[in-house]
Amino acid sequence: MPTSTRRISNPCKGAAIWLLRAGVAILATGIAAASAAAPLPKYDHILVVMMENHSFDQIFNGGKAPYLRSLAKESAVFTNSYAVAHPSQPNYLALFSGSTQGVKNDLNYDFDKPNLATELNAAGKHFVGYIEAGSPRKHNPWESFANAKGVEQPLTAFPGNFALLPAVGFVIPNLSNDMHDGPIEQADEWLQQHLGDYATWAKSHRSLLIITFDEDDNHAGNQIFTLFGGAGIVPGQYAERIDHYSVLRTIEDIEGMPPLGTSTARAAISGIWGAP
């Protein structure tokens, strides 16, 4: 009669393997957490420019924005960047206050809610919204917040000495120069003329330039062009999915402020940072 062989497991060996695997998992989790918690670079100035109504493909692959394409080569470009709503105004509100405030149109509203200007002020820092003559209220979100009155200045007040810029500023072109009414080529030339010198200066002066769009043209799933340029940016194309709340959260983390609204549910943008 054949002898049956019974395999006896070694409980000590099994426990050792389990502990080893658990240790590796804990170590990996700890590394990931440490990486996620790594502080962002600190900047003296952050400038955000909002353009209008064009998709990522129209800007990056359309051949009509040579300045933006050249700037993209030395910047971080997000190939998976999205607006949060249609039409224009909710996106501006989201980027400025962390919420669309329930707005689904371009009508006038008045709010008394926290926003980027009030949070910067509470931190002892300064916000300015620079607007070109003719920019409508729906594109100037601080005009809808009673507690942000006084932060708006005409684009003609934009300082030639960039060291005098605030900690955070928005630049809002008018409808002819933001691609809303005028052609892409005109807006691209406008960006080079008005912000080209700052884009160059920022790279060696601990400053950041963010160019993004309010929304697409209603044909691309609201995918938009977003670019981060300036000091300490590792150039390249990044597939990290971001939206206006992600951009706001990144600004908040750089400035050391508590996140507003839906930006609390977003992580700051990662992977693009070197030493400013």
- How far is CA 89 from its chain centroid? 17
| 219 domain-assigned | yes
Same domain, 35 and 160: no
Same domain, 46 and 33: no
Closest CA to 223 of 241, 197, 248: 241
Same domain, 136 and 201: yes
What is the distance between the alpha carbons of residues 244 and 246, in angstroms, rounded to a whole number?
Answer: 5
- pLDDT exceeds 80 at position 188: yes
Burial class (CB in 10 A: 0-12, 13-18, 19+), 128: buried
Instruction: Write down the pTM of the prediction.
Output: 0.87
Same domain, 73 and 103: yes
Range of the domain at 238: 41-265
85 to each of 53, 97, 100, 112, 240, how far by Cα in Å? 12, 14, 8, 22, 19
Same domain, 194 and 172: yes
> Could you tell me the pLDDT band of residue 275, with boundaries at 50, 70 and 90?
confident
- pLDDT exceeds 70 at position 5: no
How far does the chain reach from its first CA to its final CA, in angstroms? Answer: 79
Same domain, 19 and 138: no
Q: What would you report as the CA-atom Rg of the chain, rounded to the nearest whole angstrom? A: 23
| 276 domain-assigned | no
Which H helix or E strand runs over 78?
Answer: strand 76-78
Residue type for 43, please?
A: Y
Residue 20 backbone dihedrals phi, psi, to 5 degrees? -65, -45
Handedness of CA 216, 220, 222, 224 (dihedral sign): negative
Same domain, 115 and 215: yes
| 244 domain-assigned | yes
Same domain, 120 and 19: no
What is the distance between the alpha carbons of residues 79 and 158, in angstroms, rounded to a whole number?
Answer: 30
- How far is CA 171 from its chain centroid? 14
* 3-class secondary structure, 212: strand
Residues 86 and 218: beta-carbon distance below 8 Å:
yes
Tokens of residue 131, six digits: 């607007």
Residues 210 and 50: beta-carbon distance below 8 Å:
no
| 157 domain-assigned | yes
DSSP lists the bridge partners of residue 169 as 47, 128
Same domain, 20 and 93: no
Tens of pLDDT, residue by residue over 6-59, are: 443 454 444 443 434 544 343 333 333 333 446 899 999 999 999 999 999 999
Tell me which residue has tokens 């697409």.
216
| 162 domain-assigned | yes
Looking at residue 110, what is its pLDDT?
Answer: 97
Residue 106 backbone dihedrals phi, psi, to 5 degrees? -110, 25
Number of domains in the chain: 2
Tokens of residue 14, six digits: 């099994």
Tens of pLDDT, residue by residue over 47-96, are: 999 999 999 999 999 999 999 999 999 999 999 999 999 999 999 999 99
| 4 domain-assigned | no
What is the distance between the alpha carbons of residues 168 and 257, in angstroms, rounded to a whole number?
Answer: 12
Same domain, 32 and 134: no
Handedness of CA 91, 97, 99, 103 (dihedral sign): negative
Same domain, 151 and 21: no
Residues 241-264 have a mean pLDDT of: 98
